[in-house]
Structure 1
């Protein structure tokens, strides 16, 4: 799917035309998918113009893959997307870090301001780095990078 699609630029908002080009679908298809997939809720501004965010572009690419490449029906794709979102919620609820597109590099060490390596042993909660704090920090950094 994504091998033939262009890379998503580092922007905060995309117009419906831009999203159509990035995802290989026509704008009227995107408007239809908004009715079928409740997770797609682009921001609307003056004149009902739609502005999609990066995560919505990724979801549209996932929907396109399910429908066009994997042969799902609209109903089947809706169910599959719901399953994937529920899995993400479950992982968050269980305290697992779920960062889309971010991988842990083996052998890297995190250090605090005192230049001493942090103890990441899960058994020592007093000095362990909370995964949620790392997730929030990384997401805020990602948002800063996605600004125009």
Structure 2
């Protein structure tokens, strides 16, 4: 049942219909899963309308994978989800960073000032300037982590 799911748009909230389309399940199935998986708790607003956040869409995709692709029962998928969430909590508690689905890129020890000097700030558009700021923050974080180690 390997169906390619569409990418999740960069939005804060998703309606139940949008989540159904993004995850390949019908809304009534999502409502049922809310009863079976206690970790799945969308925000409810006017008229009991459900609004899901990005992490909940990812969780629903994981549940769907366990049930439809890996053949788990509801009970087995519930237990597996609890194991996965406990594992993530343990890793966070131990200071490990979750990088699932991300490519780790090695960066040489180029100095931040050298990086900024190599960039002409006037020629950058707004998103590029935000990237420069993000890179600056990442360098600072890396230095703090190196000092703590």
> Shorter-chain-normalised TM-score: which range?
0.7 to 0.9
Q: Are 1:79 and 2:97 counterparts?
A: no
Q: Are 1:55 and 2:61 counterparts?
A: no
Classify 1:94/1:73 alpha carbon distance in 2 versus 1 (closer, same or farther; 3 Å): same
Cα contact 1:66–1:77 (8 A) shared by 2: yes
Using the size of structure 1 for normalisation, the TM-score is: 0.73
> Aligned partners of 2:107, 2:59: CA distance in 1, in Å?
32
> Aligned partners of 1:119, 1:25: CA distance in 2, in Å?
40
Cα contact 1:118–1:128 (8 A) shared by 2: no
Q: Which runs of 5+ in 2 are unaligned?
A: 116-138
Classify 1:30/1:119 alpha carbon distance in 2 versus 1 (closer, same or farther; 3 Å): closer
> Aligned partners of 2:141, 2:47: CA distance in 1, in Å?
53
Q: Higher relative CO (CA 8 A, sep ≥ 6), structure 1 or 2?
A: 1
* Structure 2 match to 1:7: 7
Residue by residue, what CA displacement relative to the aligned partner does 1:92-115 show, whole Å, maximum 9, x if unpaired?
111111244433202355856797
Bigger Cα Rg: 2
Give the length in aligned residue pairs.
126
Using the size of structure 2 for normalisation, the TM-score is: 0.72
> Which stretch has the larger CA shift, 93-102 or 26-35?
93-102
